[in-house]
Chains A and B, each alone.
Chain A
């Protein structure tokens, strides 16, 4: 069965510092991996995705994520956090053999302090 774990409910970081939001996954086959962000009272917005190829994926707003197959992880990173990055972040996985069923993690709330 597919599953996604986001081990941290909240991540606190100072503005200008690097940030990491962790995600690990479990699928029976090869995964497609996604990161979405949710601002208050809004729907989820796509940030980036891993399909194949280069393990380092670059996405919107300066975010990037590194796919690590051996550790089954897909951590979200940004070199320098902004206060405006404060939001709820979701990791999601789709098994290539499982159709469109996408499993979302529980979400990690990122708080960037000025």
Chain B
């Protein structure tokens, strides 16, 4: 199994530009999560999906952030327009969604390091 795949691994952009981060979860996993990691705020849950449906987006910081999951094998996190304070490492994670779903562990991708100049 290839694990959770994220692209790009590194993104450098200028303030005001649109940024799109991509994630391919592990095949068969029903849950997908987007996290942001910064030195100041640690690891924060932004949004999660169950069977492609957004369940909780309360962690999305602003309207500039949006996430979609058009199918079970692909999700995007978009920032438009980007700002320097969005600089962080963004992780995607997936989990199986078995009968004890709340006890499932999460499998993290390698992350996308975003730098907004």
A interface residue numbers (CB < 8 A to B): 32, 34, 36, 41-46, 49, 51, 90, 94, 96, 99-102, 104-107
Contact = CB atoms under 8 A, between A and B. Distances in A.
Given A32-B103, A46-B105, A107-B42, A100 B4 contact: no
Interface of B: 4, 31, 33, 42-43, 45, 48, 55-56, 58, 91, 93, 100-103, 105-111
A99 B42 CA distance: 20
Contacts of A41: 110-111
Contacts, number: 52
B42 A104 contact: yes
Given A99-B56, A100-B33, A100-B56, A43 B103 contact: no
A41 B113 CA distance: 9
A43 B113 CA distance: 11
Contacts of B4: 43
A15 to B, nearest CB: 27
A46 B93 CA distance: 11
Contacts of B31: 100
A101 B56 CA distance: 8
Given A51-B103, A100-B102, A101-B45, A44 B110 contact: no
B110 A43 contact: yes
B55 A99 contact: yes
Given A49-B105, A100-B102, A101-B45, A44 B91 contact: yes
B10 to A, nearest CB: 10
Contacts of B45: 101-102
Given A32-B103, A42-B110, A100 B48 contact: yes
A105 B37 CA distance: 11
Contacts of B110: 41-43
